[in-house]
Chains A and B, each alone.
Chain A
C-alpha cells in the first residue's frame, strides 16, 4: 500500500514537471481555454450585460482542467510507445494502473494553472471579481474535479490503447464535454436525451460543486457524487486495462508494430 502510494506520488510529480515544461501540454493548455473564455465573455456581455460574467469566468476556468487532460490522457499510451518505454513499463513489477494513473492525474493537475490563469485573465481584463462563500469546499471542489477528470482521462487512455491516433479521439471529445457538462450552457437548455449523459460525467458534478461553493449553495452532494464517479472510472479502467494487457501479451500486439 505504502509502496503504491509512493509510486503514485513520485510518478505524478515527475509527469507534472515534464508537462509543465512542454509547450503543448503546458503553455497551450493554459492559453487555449483563454481564447474560448474571452469569446464567451464577449458573448455574454452582449446578451446579458456585465453582471452575468461572474459564473462564466468560473466555468471557463474549470473548462481548462478538461482541456489540459483530454489530449495528453488519451494519447498517454501512444506517447510511451513512441518513447519506446511502453513494454518496459508493462513488464515492470508494479501494477501498470499505478504507472498510467499518475500521467492522467498530472495532466488534469496542469489544468489548475489554467484555472488560475483564467481567473486572473477575467479579473484584470474583464473586471470580474470572484468572491468565494465556502473557500474550503471551493478548494475541495477543485481537488475533486482534478481527480474525476484525471480518472476519466485514465479510462480514456485505457479505452484507446489500440489506437495509434488516440490523440485525435481525445481532441474530438473536448467540445462535447464542455457542452454536455454544463460549464457555459445550463444542462436544462440541452435536449432531454443529453441530460443522463451529463449526469454520468464527473466534470458535471465537479463544476456544480465549485459553483455551489463559490456562490453559497450546498456543495457537499455534488462533491461526493463527483468523487464517487471518479471511483467508478478508476475501477472500470483497472478492469479494462487488465483485459487489454492480457490480450496484447497473448497476441504480441502491445507495440502495434
Chain B
C-alpha cells in the first residue's frame, strides 16, 4: 500500500514540483507550439527536397517530439532533486527505489502521449493530412508505447543527471540524435547501413514505423511485432536507467559526492 502511494502520489507530486515546463508560460511555447513548427519546417523542407509526403513528416515529427517532454521531464524530476538540494533526503528515506523513481515516470509518459497526440492532430489539420477513423485507436496506442520507450531513455538521462551538471545540454543532444536516427524525417532505408543498425536499438524507430503503417490503414495486428520491439527497447532502457541511478547513488555515498552539482 505504501509503495503504491509512493508510486502514484509521490510520483505526481515530484513531477508537479520539479518539472519546470509545467508552467503555462513554458508549456505552451515549448510543448504545444514548437512541435507544430517542427512539423511545418520538415514538411516544407520535404516539399522543397521533393522527398516524401506531408503525412510522412507529420507522423514522424509528432512522434519524435514525444522525446522532448519525456527526456526533459524525466531528468528534471529525478536529477532536479540534486539542484533543489533535496536528493539527500530522498535517498536516506526508507522508500523503495522502484516505486520512488518509476512513479515519477507515469506522469511523464502521459505528458509525452499528450504532446505527441496533440502535434499529430494539429499538424495533420494544418497540412491537410487525414487519418482513417479506424486508425485513430491504434495510433493512440502506438503513441503511448513511443512515450513509454522515450521515458525509458529519459531514466538513463536522469541517472546520468545525478553526475553530469549540464542535463539540459545532454537532453538536447539526445533529442538531436533521435531526430537523425529514428526515421522521423529520413526513412531508415535511406540511412547508411551503420546508422540503420543503431536506429533499431533506439526508442521511437519502431513506433514511428508502426504509426506510419497504421496511419495508412493497416490493422493493429500487422504492427504488433513493431510495437513489441518498441516496448522491448523501452523496458531495456528503463532497466538500464534504474541501474544507472542505483550505481550513482552507491557511488555518491561511497565518495560523499551526493550534493555536488
B256 located at the interface, meaning its Cβ lies under 8 Å from any Cβ of chain A in the complex: no
What would 19 A/B residue contacts be, using CB atoms closer than 8 Å? A23-B166, A24-B168, A31-B173, A32-B172, A35-B179, A42-B185, A43-B185, A44-B51, A46-B190, A47-B46, A48-B50, A52-B49, A163-B25, A168-B30, A174-B34, A175-B34, A175-B37, A175-B38, A176-B37
A175 vs B68: C-alpha distance in the bound complex, in angstroms? Answer: 15
Does any Cβ of A come within 8 Å of B176's Cβ?
A: yes
- Contact of A46 with B168 at beta-carbon distance under 8 Å, contacts A31-B176, A40-B45, A172-B33 already known: no
**Is the CB of B177 closer than 8 A to any CB of chain A?**
yes
Q: Is B33's CB under 8 angstroms from A39's CB? A: no
Give the total of B residues in contact with A, Cβ under 8 Å. 35
Instruction: Give the total of A residues in contact with B, Cβ under 8 Å.
Output: 37
Task: Knowing A24-B168, A38-B180 are in contact, say whether A185-B34 is a contact too (CB < 8 A).
Answer: no
Q: Given the known A-B contacts A46-B49, A172-B33, A189-B44, are A39 and B180 also in contact in the complex, defined by CB atoms under 8 Å?
A: yes
Q: Give B contacts to A, CB under 8 Å.
A: 23, 25-26, 29-30, 33-34, 37-38, 40-42, 44-52, 166, 168-169, 172-173, 176-177, 179-180, 185-187, 190-191
Checking B34, B47, B173, B179 against A36 with a beta-carbon cut-off of 8 angstroms, the contacting residue is B179
B117 to chain A, nearest CB (A): 20
Select A42's contact among B37, B48, B169, B190, beta carbons within 8 Å: B190
Nearest CB of B to A201, in Å: 15
Identify the closest chain B residue to A38 (Cβ). Answer: B180
Tell me, rounded to whole Å, the shortest Cβ–Cβ distance linking B20 to chain A.
9
Q: How far is the CA of A211 from the CA of B40 in the complex (A)?
A: 24
Question: A196 contacts the other chain (Cβ, under 8 Å)?
Answer: no
Q: Is the CB of A43 within 8 A of B44?
A: no
Q: Which of A169-194 contact B (CB under 8 A)?
A: 169, 171-172, 174-176, 178-179, 184-186, 189-190
Does any Cβ of B come within 8 Å of A164's Cβ? yes
Which residues of A sit under 8 angstroms from B185, Cβ to Cβ? 39, 42-43
The interface residues of chain A, by DSSP majority, are classed as helix
B29 touches A168 (CB 8 A): yes
A17 at the interface (CB under 8 A from B): no
Question: Are B30 and A32 in contact, CB atoms less than 8 angstroms apart?
Answer: no
Whose C-beta in chain B lies nearest to the C-beta of A179? B41
B37 and A35: CB pair below 8 A? Answer: no
Interface residue A129 (Cβ < 8 Å from any Cβ of B): no
Q: A120-160 toward B: CB 8 Å interface, digit per residue (1/0)? A: 00000000000000000000000000000000000000000
Q: Which residue of A lies closest to B173 (CB)?
A: A31
The answer to whether residues A168 and B25 also contact, given A28-B172, A32-B172 and a CB cut-off of 8 A, is yes
Cβ of B49: which chain A residues have Cβ within 8 Å of it?
Answer: 40, 43-44, 46-48, 52
Complex contacts, A178 vs chain B, CB 8 Å: 41
A80 to chain B, nearest CB (A): 19
Asked if A172 and B30 make an inter-chain contact with CB atoms under 8 angstroms apart, the answer reads yes
Given contacts A175-B37, A179-B40, A189-B48, contact A42 B186 (CB under 8 A): yes
